[in-house]
C-alpha cells in the first residue's frame, strides 16, 4: 500500500507549481469609474499589516510603484488610518483630502498559506553487543537494529495575500478592488515588493494609471 507520506511527496511539487508566482486572484472595477486615470494626481497610500515593519515596507513598495505608474503617492505615519474598503474612516478621509489626494489606495496584508518544510529525523536503535562463551567459547555478536522518524523543528514559511482597494476621496465610493497572492517565502520584503508590483500593474491594466 502506498503511504500517505509517499503520495504527498509525489503530489507536493505538482500542487505547488500552480501557485509558484505572485498573481491576481480576482479583481473588480466599478463601472462608474471605468477609464478614470489618476496619472498626475495625488494618491494616499495606506497599508494594514500584521506588524509595523511589514506595514512600512508594504507602504514604501506600493508608493514606489504608484510613482512609477505616473501618479504622486502620499503617505502618512498616522496609526489611525485604515485601508478600507469604504466607508473609509474620518481620519483617512481627512488625511487624503488634506493632502489633496484624489483617491486612497488601501492594502490589507495577511497570511494566506503557511508551508512547513520537514524537520530533521532522529534514529533510535539497539547497538551491537558481544560476549564470549557460547558454543565452544566462540564470540557472539549482534548487529544494530533501529528506526527513524521525523521530529519537530521544521521551517515554516508564509505566503501572503493583499486585498487592495482604490477609493474615490470625494465620494468615498469604491473604484476598484483586487486580491493578490504571493507564494510562501522567508523573504517578506521581497514578497511585499511582488505584491506591490503585481497589484499596481493590475490597477494600471484597469485604466487607473
* pLDDT tens sequence across 40-97: 999 999 999 999 999 999 999 999 999 999 999 999 877 789 998 888 788 999 999 9
The phi, psi pair for 146, rounded to 5°, reads -150, 170
Question: Helix H segments across 18-120?
Answer: 52-68, 90-98
pLDDT at 130: 42
pTM of this structure: 0.74
pLDDT in tens, 70-81: 999 999 877 789
Q: Which residues of 163-199 are buried (b: 16+ CB within 10 A; e: fewer)?
A: bbbbbbbeeeebbbbbbbbbbbbeebeebbbbbbbbb
CA–CA separation, 75 and 90 (whole Å): 16
Sign of torsion, CA 96 97 102 103?
positive
pLDDT tens per residue, range 130-166 = 444 443 344 333 443 444 445 555 678 899 999 999 9
Q: Distance between CA 193 and CA 182 in Å, rounded?
A: 10
- Cell matching residue 40: 498626475
Report yes or no: 73 and 102 within 8 Å, Cβ to Cβ.
no
Decide: 64 and 199 in contact? Cβ < 8 Å. Answer: no
Q: Assign 119 a pLDDT band (cuts: 50, 70, 90).
A: low
Q: Write out the E strands in 117-170.
A: 121-126, 129-132, 139-142, 145-150, 156-168
Write down the domain spans for the chain.
42-116+156-205
pLDDT at residue 129 tops 80: no
Name the burial class of residue 113, with classes exposed (0-12), middle (13-18) and buried (19+) by CB atoms within 10 angstroms of its CB.
middle
Q: Name the grid cell of 21.
A: 508566482
**DSSP three-state, residue 92:** helix
Q: Are 41 and 169 in contact (CB under 8 A)?
A: no
Residue 150 has a pLDDT of: 52
CATH H-level, domain 42-116+156-205: superfamily? ABC-type transport auxiliary lipoprotein component (3.40.50.10610)
Amino acid at each position: 500500500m502506498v503511504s500517505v507520506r509517499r503520495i504527498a511527496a509525489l503530489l507536493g511539487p505538482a500542487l505547488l507549481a500552480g501557485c509558484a508566482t505572485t498573481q491576481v486572484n480576482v479583481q473588480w472595477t466599478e463601472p462608474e469609474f471605468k477609464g478614470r486615470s489618476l496619472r498626475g494626481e495625488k494618491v494616499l497610500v495606506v497599508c494594514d499589516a500584521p506588524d509595523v515593519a511589514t506595514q512600512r515596507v508594504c507602504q514604501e513598495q506600493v508608493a514606489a510603484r504608484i510613482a512609477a505608474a505616473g501618479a504622486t503617492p502620499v503617505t502618512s505615519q498616522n496609526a489611525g488610518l485604515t485601508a478600507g474598503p469604504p466607508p473609509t474612516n474620518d481620519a483617512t478621509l481627512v488625511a487624503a483630502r488634506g493632502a489633496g489626494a484624489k483617491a486612497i489606495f488601501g492594502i490589507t496584508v495577511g497570511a494566506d498559506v503557511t508551508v512547513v518544510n520537514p524537520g530533521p529525523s532522529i534514529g533510535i536503535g539497539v547497538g551491537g553487543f558481544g560476549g564470549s562463551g557460547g558454543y565452544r567459547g566462540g564470540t557472539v555478536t549482534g548487529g544494530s537494529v533501529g528506526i527513524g522518524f521525523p521530529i519537530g523543528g521544521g521551517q515554516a514559511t508564509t505566503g501572503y495575500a493583499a486585498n487592495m482597494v482604490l477609493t474615490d476621496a470625494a465620494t468615498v465610493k469604491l473604484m476598484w478592488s483586487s486580491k493578490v497572492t504571493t507564494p510562501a517565502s522567508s523573504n517578506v520584503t521581497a514578497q511585499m515588493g511582488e505584491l506591490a508590483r503585481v497589484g499596481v500593474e493590475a490597477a494600471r491594466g484597469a485604466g487607473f494609471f
